[in-house]
Amino acid sequence: IMLPQLDGIGVLTKLKESASAVDFKHIIVLSSLSHDAAVQQAASMGVYATLTKSEITPDQLIAKVKEML
């Protein structure tokens, strides 16, 4: 989970700290690494799912999004 200025955990942390309530049950984290500490941390923050890019097809991702909605 990496972005130019902030990583994905940083984004989740900022969302959690924001004044408005964020429902982490509607966030899916996609990562290149399945055993990355950031993925485990995102899961512990209550995101809906953590998925590994190399282990999921586009159709499976779409199905997961539909399941979440």
Better-scored residue on pLDDT, 35 or 9: 9
Q: Is the distance from CB of 52 to CB of 31 less than 8 angstroms? A: yes
Those residues whose C-beta lies under 8 Å from the C-beta of residue 18, and which sit 6 or more positions away, are none
Q: Is a pLDDT exceeding 90 seen at residue 61? A: yes
pTM of this prediction?
Answer: 0.77
Q: What is the per-residue pLDDT across 43-54, written as a single tens digit (0 to 9) for each?
A: 999 899 999 999
- How many other C-beta atoms can be found within 10 angstroms of the C-beta atom of residue 43? 13
Q: What pLDDT sits at residue 63?
A: 96
